[in-house]
Chain A
């Protein structure tokens, strides 16, 4: 079945630096890859997603890249700020009838 691996599990970066979180997926038919951010004590919220017909998508300081050949996708956060501190989850889905599979999460801490 579909499996999504995410790393690192924890990441600490200096404010202003960039952060990169990577995920790999097992099913080559996967074609939808969302990223969710969960702040402490709050619900997960979608921050960006990418579909398999594009290789990169950007939204201000956040970008996601997709390498279908290697079956991995990454989240890039530039110019990190304290409010970026949260747990980030990647996910993958391969068909309209299948469930979304989440990675195990990355706890990102931004050092002042």
Chain B
């Protein structure tokens, strides 16, 4: 079946602009994660959605970052007033249920802030 998809695949924006990144998880997956990966670096946790529970937002680096997910479907990550240090690949992952299951990663959105 279809895997995790993300859009856009690449995004170039100017400093100060807002951007919205989209993640379509695998159908039926209740858990969804967002990560940030800077060039040559590790996976930086941003936010975690699990079913209808309140999301774990402990990884969001500032109040410019926010994410939403409606039910068990699409999630959007919004970065307001982008800064150059926001440039990175933003990865989304979903898992069947709970965090103790295999995470399936999307291809990522490569964000470049000029």
Contacts and interface: CB of A to CB of B under 8 A. Distances in A.
Contact of B99 (A36, A46, A89, A100): A100
Interface stretch (A16-24, A58-66, A70-78, A101-109): A101-109
A49 B101 CA distance: 9
Contact of B43 (A31, A34, A51, A89): A89
A105 B42 CA distance: 6
Given A97-B53, A99-B33, A99-B48, A44 B100 contact: no
Nearest to A30: B100
Given A43-B108, A49-B102, A93-B100, A102 B56 contact: no
A101 B100 contact: no
A12 interface: no
Contacts of B100: 31-32, 51, 93, 95-96
Please indicate which of the listed interface residues A93, A97, A100 has the most CB atoms of chain B within 10 Å of its own CB: A100
Given A99-B33, A103-B42, A43 B102 contact: no
| Tier of interface size on chain B | 20 to 34
A81 to B, nearest CB: 23
Contacts of A31: 100
A69 interface: no
A96 B105 contact: no
A53 interface: no
Contact of A46 (B43, B102, B106): B102
Contacts of B42: 89, 102-105
Interface string B23-63: 00000000001000000011101001010010010000000
Closest 3 CB pairs of A and B: A96-B98, A32-B100, A43-B105
